[in-house]
Amino acid sequence: TTTPTPTPEPSVTPRPTPEPTATPEPTVIPTPTPEPTVIPTPTPEPTITPSPTPEPTTTPTPTPTLTPARPQYAVTDLGTIDKGGQTFAWAINNSGEVAGYHVAFDGSVTEAFVYRDGAFQIIPHLGGNDTRAGSINNSGKVTGASATSSGDFHAYRWSPDGTMSGMMEDLGTLGGVNSRGAMINDIGEVVGSSLSSITDYYRAFIYKDGQMTDLGIPSKSDNMGTWANAINNFGWVTGAFNDPYSYHVYLRYSDGSVALGELGGGSSSQGFGINDAGQVVGAATNENGEYRAFIAKQDPMTGQWSTTDLGTLNSNLGESMAHAINKSGQIVGNSDTPAGLEAGFLYTGGVMYNLNSLITSNPTGIGGIYLQSKEWATGNAINDFGQIAAIGTIGGNEKGQKHALILTPVPAGAATQIPPNTSYNVVAPVTNSNTPNASTVSLVGGIASTNQSVRISFSSSLPSTKSSFAAASDVVNIAGTGFDTFVLQMSYNEAEAINTFGSEAEARLMWLDPDDNQWKPAVAGYTGGSSQQFINRAYDPSRDFQLGNHGIDTVNNTVWAVINHNGAFAAGKVLPAPTRDPSPTPSGGVLRSRSDLRR
């Protein structure tokens, strides 16, 4: 047996390992590194530690803005003085007395008149046969222009004196041949325009203390004119001055300083009315050369005028002119209409109304209602109770016969039946929303002793009385409470009270005593009481219900009194009589009762 010999492993000589050859790096074109996209990390919800739930806070519901009620007016047609003649109403005072003029049927005479208590009182001439009235103040005094025997016109002031003629005063001129009285304030001061002997142009004047004086309104040339159209009870005057191309409004203060106005964006402006707050109304041209009614007030510190364009009755197209403004800012004038005619307007509460659309009572059916002509616009065609002196045409035709009119706001009123042993505070408050003061009357206390029919009605004007009384409210008539003791409360116009009395705290609930036609505190008319205590706060039924107590609440603008009589009431004050009015000289005139007139 052969044992195999193992085959030896072959001897292997290792080969040397070569050095590796380095592979060259490739050429890399760098790519711009984009801005990193940042993924925001969510903010963790904060850990809220619960706290006790507070009582819910009640947010008061805002008072809605109410659209003012559309005014309503009743027409009083004054008729004519002779058959076929015409009458024109130019101005009205707070007693509802109207100043104007009538033209005879044959054109032979033009006579100025005052209409009061249903009768025309004719203002005498200054020697000619043409007299016109332009303004009447709250004392019934009138100014205008009257022809003299030479045919020239002179400004005049006429005063009632209880006779058929009244007293007529020729105010003269500034040396020229003609003058015209435009407006008279409650002090008896007259403003207007007169030809001057120096320049032979019209110059604005004021007549007071028995003398006519040039107001010294600067014009842009010595040979240009100035006109005064209106004056308020502080002696502030507005009107216009002219240059060779246009007219410009001005406001002259009682100290003689003058503010000149450039209004409306156009080249011309004129002031026709001003109230005691210094608000001026008139007309100014716009960029298109159209006259637009405006209201403006000048800041005496900065000299800047704030002006509002009142627009027109024709969707802001055409022209308009504002003639007068009362204490509450109601404005009247004339405007173009869509029919291409001219109509009177009332601007109140930011709205311009066509007067013809506001008439609810018109017994004679007269139409075509408009105001005084733009050639002689003056500043009191509306009184402080919203009554308007206007002109209407028979048949509404522009060429028809003209009649003087009084437009009177339709007053609010109510009647309430009160059973025995029932509180008078169940009578709903009545607000006279058709007037500037919008007075509210309430019966806030007292018990009816028997069946009572309580009647509350407002007067459309301040009754003519012997006392120098000023009201900061409408006049209300209360009837039907018998001799029961009750609490009468009435609102007043705060701005008017401050303007008239100096402080609203001076206002009281006043009563017109029918025995002597004098305004007195309301508690002066009660019977059976022993005291009159004034309380300077709101009425408190828990402690104030005592006959004779009365007071004022200046927070809520109300006056109140505990009384047991009826009558006419108002929030107001008896003022001292004006003292700066010089005595006029007498002349003649005619009083004509309406019942004696031929219609």
Task: Look at the chain and report how many structural domains it folds into.
Answer: 2
Q: Are 337 and 440 in a shared domain?
A: no
Beta bridge partners of 452: 418
Choose one of 410, 436, 456: the last residue of a domain.
Answer: 410
Q: Are 143 and 192 in contact (CB under 8 A)?
A: yes
Tens place of pLDDT per residue across the chain (599 aa): 344 444 444 343 333 434 434 334 433 334 444 444 433 444 444 444 444 434 334 334 343 333 456 788 999 999 999 888 999 999 999 999 999 999 999 888 999 999 998 999 999 999 999 999 999 999 999 999 999 999 999 999 999 988 888 999 999 999 999 999 999 999 999 999 999 887 778 999 999 999 999 998 876 656 689 999 999 999 999 999 988 778 889 999 999 888 876 665 667 899 999 999 899 999 999 888 899 999 998 776 777 778 899 999 999 899 999 999 998 899 999 999 999 899 999 999 899 999 999 998 888 889 999 998 766 667 799 998 899 999 999 876 667 899 999 999 887 778 899 999 999 999 989 988 777 788 999 999 999 999 999 999 988 677 666 668 889 999 999 999 999 999 999 999 998 899 888 899 999 999 999 888 899 999 998 777 667 899 999 999 999 999 999 999 999 999 999 999 999 999 999 887 554 444 333 333 333 332 332 22
Residue whose C-alpha is closest to residue 500's, from 294, 326, 254: 326
Choose one of 393, 410, 427: the last residue of a domain.
Answer: 410
Q: Are 393 and 459 in a shared domain?
A: no
The CATH number given to whatever domain includes residue 476 is 2.60.220
Q: Which domain holds residue 208?
A: 73-410
Query: What are the residue ranges of helices labelled H in 390-450?
Result: none
Q: Are 226 and 341 in a shared domain?
A: yes
Residue whose C-alpha is closest to residue 523's, from 479, 569, 575, 482: 569
CA distance 39 to 43: 12
CA distance 169 to 159: 8
Beta strands of 472-578 (E only): which ranges? 476-479, 486-491, 508-513, 518-521, 534-535, 550-553, 558-563, 567-574
Q: Are 401 and 474 in a shared domain?
A: no
- How many beta carbons lie within 10 A of that of residue 517, not counting itself? 12
In a domain, 481, yes or no: yes
Q: Are 356 and 494 in a shared domain?
A: no
Residue whose C-alpha is closest to residue 485's, from 520, 458, 518, 522: 522
Q: Are 403 and 451 in a shared domain?
A: no
Q: Are 371 and 434 in a shared domain?
A: no
- How many beta carbons lie within 10 A of that of residue 373, not counting itself? 14
Q: Are 380 and 461 in a shared domain?
A: no
CA distance 207 to 144: 13
Q: Are 404 and 417 in a shared domain?
A: no
**344: helix, coil or strand?**
strand
- How many beta carbons lie within 10 A of that of residue 476, not counting itself? 24
Paired tokens of 148? 């003299």
Choose one of 410, 425, 441: the last residue of a domain.
Answer: 410
Q: Which residues contact 493 (CB under 8 A, 6 or more apart)?
A: 328, 436, 437, 439, 472, 473, 557
**What's the Cα-to-Cα distance from 122 to each of 146, 163, 232, rounded to whole Å?**
13, 12, 26
